[in-house]
Amino acid sequence: MGAASDICETATAPRAVARRYRREMILASLAYVGIIFISVYVARHFAPPRWVAILLALGSAAPVLMMLRAYGRFFGGLDEFQRRVQSDALVIAAGIVGFAALTYGFLETFADFPVFEGALIWVLPAIMFVHGVAAFFIRRRYQ
Amino acid sequence: MRNRLKVLRAERNWSQADLAERLDVSRQSVNAIETGKYDPSLPLAFKIADLFGMPIEQIFSADNVAQAAE
């Protein structure tokens, strides 16, 4: 799903679909890096008012929508078997990351485990990463 | 589910890639179907049957039906 798992994702996809996915992901990633850089710079150096801070936060998330759209188009271009692999991988990734987040939330609440500020930022990247790993192993299972 | 895809393909001297191209799917999909690890959808099964010019039940059979025939 994400750029980190790009090689696993596009290895078996139709060439045109894989090419479009890579192009859209690179564009989205460049936009992400650029907007994050600007947002962090403004937040640290100008102490912006709250409404500007909200805009910076939403702006930082916008390129992720581009990534999700790219993945949606990639998914739509796959054949039924490849979609099956992707779907299975997404279910596994959502289950593992969701369960890990829930469990750590309980540990924070009941056992005073450290609270990581901004930890929610890592939920989607974690799903992307686990999805890439899961898709790799699922594909091997079908070989 | 069992199938005779590998035999039918071999009879025509088609590679997995050839068959995949004719069915407009990936080679990995053909491989997964041939090895019985993935059961195709009904539309794809009909497409396969059309390609080989055979009824669907001459290509695909349920495991228990295939065992009974043996």
ipTM of the prediction: 0.86
User: pLDDT at position A7, please?
Assistant: 43
Q: CA-CA distance, A33 to B18, in Å (whole number)? A: 42
User: pLDDT at position A108, please?
Assistant: 94
Whether B41 and chain A come into contact, CB under 8 Å, resolves to yes
Residue B10 burial by CB count (10 A; 0-12/13-18/19+): exposed, middle or buried? exposed
Rg of chain A over all Cα atoms, to the nearest angstrom: 18
User: pLDDT at position B5, please?
Assistant: 95
Interface test with A, best of B22, B25, B28 (most A CBs within 10 A): B28
Nearest residue of B to residue A141 by CA position? B37
Distance from CA of A79 to the nearest CA of B (A): 6
Distances (CA, A) of A4 to A41, A77, A142: 25, 20, 23
**pTM metric for this prediction:** 0.82
Distance from CA of A63 to the nearest CA of B (A): 30
Three-state DSSP at B61 gives strand
Beta bridge partners of B3: B60
3-state helix, strand, coil in chain B (%, to 5): 65, 5, 30
User: What are the pLDDT digits (tens) for B16-46?
Assistant: 999 999 999 999 999 999 999 999 999 999 9
Q: CA-CA distance, B60 to B70, in Å (whole number)? A: 15
Say if the Cβ atoms of B28 and A81 lie within 8 Å.
Answer: yes
The tens-digit pLDDT sequence of chain A (143 residues) is 544 444 445 667 788 888 999 999 999 999 999 999 999 999 889 889 999 999 999 999 999 999 999 999 999 999 999 999 999 999 999 999 999 999 999 999 999 999 988 889 999 999 999 999 999 999 998 88
Whether B46 and chain A come into contact, CB under 8 Å, resolves to no
Taking a C-beta distance cutoff of 8 angstroms, is the pair A78, A17 a contact? yes
Q: Largest Cα–Cα distance in chain B?
A: 34
A window 111-140, beta carbon within 8 A of B:
139
Whether A84 and chain B come into contact, CB under 8 Å, resolves to yes
Residue B70 predicted with pLDDT over 70: no
At B4, the amino acid letter reads R
Listed residue (A123, A18, A120, A119) closest to A71, CA to CA: A18
Distance from CA of B12 to the nearest CA of A (A): 23
Locus of tokens 């699922």: A138
User: pLDDT at position A5, please?
Assistant: 46
Q: Which residues of B touch A141 (CB under 8 A)?
A: 37
Question: Higher-confidence residue: B67 or A52?
Answer: A52
